[in-house]
Chain A
Amino acid sequence: MGKYQQKTIIIGGGILFALLLIMAQFKMIDLYVQSVIMFIGVNIIFATSLSIVNGYMGEFSCGHAGFMAVGAYVSSLMSVMLFTPDKATGLSVLPPSMSIYLFPVIIIIGGVVAGIAGLLVAIPSFKTRDDYLAIITIAVNFIIVTALNNMEVVGGSRGYMGMKKVIYGMEGIIKFPYMLFWVITFTIFAIFLIRRFITSTYGKGIIAIKQDEVAAEIMSVDTNHMKLVAFMFSSGLAGISGGLFAHVIGYVNPGSFSILKSTEGLVMVYLGGMGSLSGSVISAILFTILLEILRPLQILKWVIIPLMLILVMQFRPEGLMGDKELSDFFPKLKKYFKFK
């Protein structure tokens, strides 16, 4: 890819991003549109993170929302505990001004803890795969959600809130659309990391596992190690998306990370196409927008969307993109961005 084109895309993207932030800053885009953009970002991170395991590595992990929950709760707890004034003293543990700098750190810590939780799935995956692994991940999802339901510290089934206050605190110091900024930044960061991973000889080890695990192991790929890394990486990113999700909404409860959320993730990955990063991104965008457009239909939304997906599957049984990237359909894009 040409150096100039690469620069063009970085500068162009930067300008767009800045414009968006300025418009948000001066209330030129209304809050609803902002929140939709943020949900798209969260869903892109969630879908692409799942595509590492389900798309590239070809395992069938069904309980990804569990890791999202871990990230959401860990980062929410941290931000609320650190930056909310104590009732008695009126002081928070750390001065609220620090929250501006520490916010991304907190989100990343949430991701790291979720990544460690990913071991729960990674270790059983050494011995088993396919549908057995699907069951293990479903069980992990149930375990995480019911554990949260039973933890009074985080509000049990009522959920946990207070994150909005932290964000308002940040905005009170310097007015800035923080959440919009961080969601987009983390989205770009996540795509960037996944692409770097998957284009390296090291990361391609997981594609080798998908295509022929036995051959991979015998041809010197340490499959256990690769699975461990892939699961931790994937659940870590899911944790980051969870942390962002929690702070965008300002409220989390275990119910929002049920198996239904995992299903949404699966839909986005397989709709996009197994092993296509741009496919996951596109389907995350389409899916989120679709959810918003159909919102007035209320419960019927959840009849129409699955029906549409069933229909899509009939016409494109390998997902929208199959294992192709955008650049395979529009070769000119290769000049601007290296997809594979």
Chain B
Amino acid sequence: MKKTNPPVQASLAPTGQTPGAAVHIHIEPPGRWSALELGQIWRYRELLFFLVWRDIKVRYKQTALGVAWALLQPFLTMVVFSFFFGRLAQVPSDGLPYPLFTFAALLPWQLFSYALNESSNSLVVHQRLITRVYFPRLLIPLAAVLAGLVDFFLALGVLLAMMAYYGVALTAAALTLPLFLLLALATAFGVGLWLSALNVQYRDVRFVLPFLTQFWLFITPIAYPSSLAPEWLRPFYALNPLVGVVEGFRWALLGAQNNAGPVILISSLMVLFVLVSGLFYFQRSEKFFADLV
């Protein structure tokens, strides 16, 4: 068995590592709080890509309806809302056709509720991975959130078709849509971080989830405009980050005259808060995930 050892094959090491600049990994007991290591996400971007790709691929492979399902869900919700809230209850819609008004809100909502469901359970679902391989655990809820983008873009196509039908043209404001999409993703990711980490420790979080989702749907201006809230309440109302997201979507896509500036600002600050606190909480808990799941 005694063999002379040839030098380590540097050619096999990725990203042109030179022997002098070898990787050094230091492991020590975790402190309670430590600086965020977001650079890790970038270093593991390929794995993130594969996880998202797998989620999407499997999702559309497994469901018989596949793509149709992604479109049907928001579309039917829109039809129901339009009939009951728009037609029967005569809920105002910022002067826009009600179906457009509510569908533009359903886009980020769908992204959010999907992300919430998928990410909160994601760590438990991936427990084998967590107990066998090292990688930044953040990738798991992040991948769950990003996988929802496919549904989002499909639904966006439907919205554009509906806009053409109703004769509502896109304006220059549409260029800001990526920002609001980012805001929606950040909200979903922030909440997802909290819920996924909590769910590892406390398994009954998933029982709270259906209620949470339903509750959140009602306090978000999807079926109604946020202008329905009295003036004094609005700053507090906007603490729900989705208020800013939804009003932003309406403004960017439909050119809604909803004076949403202050609301969006408050919501954005709230998103930032949820996201950063979620990142810290997640990073603090992730050291123990493998021992708990």
* B is bound to A: no
Which residues of chain A have a CB within 8 Å of any CB of chain B? none
